[in-house]
A and B are shown apart, each in its own frame.
Chain A
């Protein structure tokens, strides 16, 4: 049944092409139902045993191995189902049947990334998820914006191929890639010296690009700006989490030595991204790009948290990964609704939307508050855990420095809210209807999740316990504390 969570959306996506074009409303609802069902399936089968089918025997063993369990992947998969369901439910793009088909394939591929318990299977889905995003960019990006598709592809495929090479090398050295099943497994002794570093370089390069971490982020703003809102929501919420997930679940457990060695570099990159993203987000006029750069800032914070190897910070990192997924998806979806109504998303040209669209204004407000870290909402829960953990790990300066962009977040997020919803109505914009009850209902799961995670982040934070307790990480956090 776990494998079905991966396979069913992909197959359903391909079957969409057989549906008549007229039935696009029906196709969209079925797709949203599949996405929500996948979230439900993740919740129901979280304790189910792993499923594995042999793939390769020679030259190393590999399997189509999927599992849920108590780890972070389960929570991210749950978040993915919710986000994809909400995004699909509010989808209104031209040629909707084809778009929905690609979104379903994307959903299945990303489920594969987070459910894979085999490094090669992980790499397969890692590369597979590029294809639907590329096709969406090709088919639905604004006129004359073909550059973003190529930029997305070149960056992410370079990462994907580096990951592939590292995976092949890992398999040859260790003899199997079926190694993600348990966090408590010791790092294999076969990996030593230069080979260890080569493998780590491949993995790390892929994760850095995907996250993205400054200076590998230049594909991101264009991609998010040119993707239709539902796709941008899913990609920013989940696909980019693959990098952080990889650092936490794969690199930390399998390659603790190099992870520890490059921690100072990662602190630097994370902090640069944290500050740089926040500063750029302050001045941009394009609402989608503001959210894109705010992601760069937030993800920098998570990166810093991961490399402290502190259990509290790791838990906070996972909470923030899920929280960022929820509110960034919410922001992209609501801003997409704004763009749909006003045919522009430039803050300087928008205004006073809240007058006629109180429901939309309410939805955007909740997401903005979650993003700027209002206590009681998901963002705050992640931030406080991370900052406490970073401080506890012995980096008070970094914790203090991280506070500045968090304050800036309040400024740029409130700016988005104010420029779109408040102020006088602008007469020459097309004034359209507010969100329907149905759309609001589709959006509700995100709001509920943001609230729940803000109030009770414990279960999500505890999902890092197994990793924090693994022998490799335990020594790391000890070493880090001593430093």
Chain B
């Protein structure tokens, strides 16, 4: 009894995936321009075309906010949820591209930009993916491009980074695929909506969910599945690290949220998801505690990112609507403050090896007051101090954890934040300490102006979102 596997679709279905196509095609245009243009113009053209392609994708994705539509029989769901994640991905990718001028060799820049566009397209697909196949498709598109990107760094550890990422991430994908197979076996369908039906075999269903979630949590680099993150972040080029810290997470977070909120029967949902909340709680403590000892900014931000993702996932605990809205808000805020910090590191990248060693910040407050002030703002935001989006976001997450009955998560969040204050303000201290600091250097070349765009945008967004938080209505439902 074999049925041909056909999925009916219409023109409206294709319209939902146009933004991703725009980004993916822009990558081809970038490569084409690299072949046709004179050598001197290639890098600039690639940057401009890449940004234009992403911006186009972002604009095309906007109307989807108001037109919820389950395309391809529920394989891809357009709506507010997908749209918000896609916009975050687009903005984060653009800001990462602004840092992409310092790769190992100049002639690699266009190729790297094309890979980043494809990776972003994969993440955008994950933002709307609502069946197991599309999820995996988006994930692989995202990851395969990143394996190459990680190896483009100037440091010797770059290749180690790429290999480590390839092996560990593939393992996680394997877990996920295994889980998907079990889920298919238990329910006979690959759409998330179908998982809501009572499973033929509850045992198989639980096992599938567990394996699937392990894979996801690995991609989100929550503790104890985080060990790969610092090494990979450290070795990868700065732009790629910045990209991974937001875009990869956006894709995985969207899938996790959709799975947690929309794909689990109410009867088993709390039990299946409890381990995820526990993992989030562990991440807050482990991430921040491990960041204490770091002297490399990329490693430090890797560990801090582990903790920040812990906060965000903790917002989903209890799967309340509030929690979803606030988690997404905090994720948007995190994107800006994190990318702002990366942009400052990018600014310093001419002076030191990628500007990522803590020593690059010695006396920065006296050498380059504006950069130090911006960095201070981003660090305060990451530490959750006012008047930033980090503060408001934490209040909202605390409120949702408390009201969902997860007081222990709220307390862990507080403890983690207290530890993280030392992590972030240690950098502030290095920048402003009286004694520290190399003698004043002349400011670097005009190429260093590009990160300033990211810094300014992030700074404005970090303060503005703190004073006027955007809590999006109409996020639910996620599947139909």
Q: B-contacting residues of A (Cβ < 8 Å)? A: 17, 55-60, 120, 123-125, 127-128, 130-131, 134-135, 138-140, 143, 146, 149-150, 153-154, 157-158, 161-162, 164-165, 167-169, 171-172, 198
Q: What are the interface flags for B387-426 relative to A under an 8 Å C-beta threshold, 1 for contact and 0 otherwise?
A: 1000110111011101100010011001001100110010
With beta carbons under 8 angstroms apart, the residue of B322, B414, B433 that contacts A139 is B433
Evaluate contact between A131 and B385: CB separation under 8 angstroms: yes
Q: Tell me which residues across on chain B come within 8 A of A135, comparing CB atoms.
A: 428, 432
Q: Tell me which residues across on chain A come within 8 A of B402, comparing CB atoms.
A: 165, 168-169, 172
A128-B385, A134-B425, A198-B407 known; A164 and B471 CB under 8 Å? no
Evaluate contact between B414 and A17: CB separation under 8 angstroms: no
Interface residues of B in 321-353 (CB under 8 A from A): 322, 325-326
Evaluate contact between A127 and B395: CB separation under 8 angstroms: no
A17 to B369, CA, bound (A): 9
Evaluate contact between B414 and A161: CB separation under 8 angstroms: yes
Report the nearest A residue to B429, measured CB to CB: A138
Evaluate contact between B435 and A143: CB separation under 8 angstroms: yes
With beta carbons under 8 angstroms apart, the residue of A58, A59, A123, A157 that contacts B421 is A157
> How far does the Cβ of A322 sit from chain B's closest Cβ, in whole Å?
27
Instruction: List 17 extra interface pairs beyond A58-B322, A135-B432, CB under 8 A.
Output: A55-B468, A125-B386, A127-B386, A127-B391, A134-B425, A139-B432, A139-B433, A139-B434, A143-B435, A153-B421, A153-B425, A154-B421, A157-B418, A164-B398, A165-B414, A168-B395, A168-B398
With beta carbons under 8 angstroms apart, the residue of B386, B396, B398, B434 that contacts A128 is B386
With beta carbons under 8 angstroms apart, the residue of B387, B392, B396, B467 that contacts A59 is B396
> How far does the Cβ of A220 sit from chain B's closest Cβ, in whole Å?
19
B469 at the interface (CB under 8 A from A): yes
Report the nearest A residue to B403, measured CB to CB: A172
A169 to B414, CA, bound (A): 13
> How far does the Cβ of A126 sit from chain B's closest Cβ, in whole Å?
9
> How far does the Cβ of B427 sit from chain A's closest Cβ, in whole Å?
11
Evaluate contact between A164 and B432: CB separation under 8 angstroms: no
Q: Tell me which residues across on chain A come within 8 A of B396, comparing CB atoms.
A: 56, 59, 168
Q: Tell me which residues across on chain B come within 8 A of A60, comparing CB atoms.
A: 399
- 21 A-B residue pairs with CB within 8 Å: A17-B373, A55-B467, A55-B468, A56-B392, A58-B322, A120-B395, A124-B387, A124-B391, A135-B432, A138-B428, A140-B434, A149-B429, A157-B421, A161-B414, A161-B418, A164-B394, A164-B395, A168-B410, A169-B399, A169-B402, A198-B407
A59-B403, A124-B391, A164-B394 known; A146 and B369 CB under 8 Å? no
B183 at the interface (CB under 8 A from A): no
Evaluate contact between B418 and A128: CB separation under 8 angstroms: no
Closest 10 CB pairs of A and B: A168-B398, A168-B399, A172-B403, A124-B386, A128-B386, A161-B414, A169-B402, A138-B429, A59-B322, A172-B399
A59 to B473, CA, bound (A): 12
Q: Tell me which residues across on chain A come within 8 A of B399, comparing CB atoms.
A: 59-60, 168-169, 171-172
Evaluate contact between A146 and B429: CB separation under 8 angstroms: yes
Evaluate contact between B395 and A167: CB separation under 8 angstroms: yes
Q: Tell me which residues across on chain B come within 8 A of A150, comparing CB atoms.
A: 422
Report the nearest A residue to B320, measured CB to CB: A59
Report the nearest A residue to B426, measured CB to CB: A150
Evaluate contact between A56 and B433: CB separation under 8 angstroms: no
B380 at the interface (CB under 8 A from A): yes
Number of interface residues of B (CB under 8 A): 39
Evaluate contact between A59 and B400: CB separation under 8 angstroms: yes
A124-B386, A128-B386 known; A146 and B414 CB under 8 Å? no
A134-B425, A161-B417, A161-B418 known; A57 and B471 CB under 8 Å? yes
Report the nearest B residue to A14, measured CB to CB: B373
A57-B471, A146-B429, A154-B422 known; A131 and B380 CB under 8 Å? yes
Report the nearest B residue to A58, measured CB to CB: B471
A135 to B386, CA, bound (A): 15
Q: Tell me which residues across on chain B come within 8 A of A158, comparing CB atoms.
A: 418
Q: Tell me which residues across on chain B come within 8 A of A130, comparing CB atoms.
A: 385
Q: Tell me which residues across on chain A come within 8 A of B467, comparing CB atoms.
A: 55
A135 to B379, CA, bound (A): 13
> How far does the Cβ of A12 sit from chain B's closest Cβ, in whole Å?
16
Q: Tell me which residues across on chain A come within 8 A of B434, comparing CB atoms.
A: 138-140, 143
Q: Tell me which residues across on chain A come within 8 A of B410, comparing CB atoms.
A: 165, 168-169
With beta carbons under 8 angstroms apart, the residue of A120, A128, A154, A162 that contacts B387 is A128
Q: Tell me which residues across on chain A come within 8 A of B373, comparing CB atoms.
A: 17
Evaluate contact between B325 and A58: CB separation under 8 angstroms: yes
Report the nearest A residue to B430, measured CB to CB: A138
> How far does the Cβ of B173 sit from chain A's closest Cβ, in whole Å?
37
Q: Tell me which residues across on chain A come within 8 A of B433, comparing CB atoms.
A: 138-139, 146
Report the nearest A residue to B325, measured CB to CB: A58
Q: Tell me which residues across on chain B come within 8 A of A57, comparing CB atoms.
A: 471
A164 to B322, CA, bound (A): 18
Residue among A140, A157, A171 with most chain B CB within 10 A: A157
> How far does the Cβ of B471 sit from chain A's closest Cβ, in whole Å?
5
> How far does the Cβ of B448 sit from chain A's closest Cβ, in whole Å?
20
A161 to B414, CA, bound (A): 6
A329 to B382, CA, bound (A): 34
A138 to B376, CA, bound (A): 13
